[in-house]
């Protein structure tokens, strides 16, 4: 999926995500985020499982 389409789809699922902010990420970074957004909007409960992929860090920090 092209970056423009990824951003449009992300904004459908998360309208608070600013396009300018999303533009700084690559397609490879946006795809897992979109998949996560779609997953969390689905069913919940005991049967709902999400497995973090290797390319996604468990904890992220930023230096100012």
| Closest of 26, 9, 27 to residue 17, by C-alpha | 9
pLDDT at residue number 25: 96
10-63: pLDDT as tens digits: 999 999 999 999 999 999 999 999 988 988 876 667 766 666 677 666 677 778
pTM: 0.67
Domain ranges of the chain: 1-64
Cα atoms found within 13 Å of the Cα of residue 19, Cβ hemisphere only: 7
Angle between helices 3-13 and 27-40 (to 10 degrees): 30
């Amino acid at each position: 999926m092209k970056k423009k389409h990824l951003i449009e789809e992300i904004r459908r699922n998360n309208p608070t995500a600013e396009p300018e902010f999303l533009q700084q990420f690559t397609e490879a970074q946006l795809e897992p985020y979109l998949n996560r957004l779609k997953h969390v909007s689905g069913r919940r409960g005991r049967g709902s499982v999400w497995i973090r992929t290797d390319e996604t860090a468990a904890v992220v920090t930023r230096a100012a």
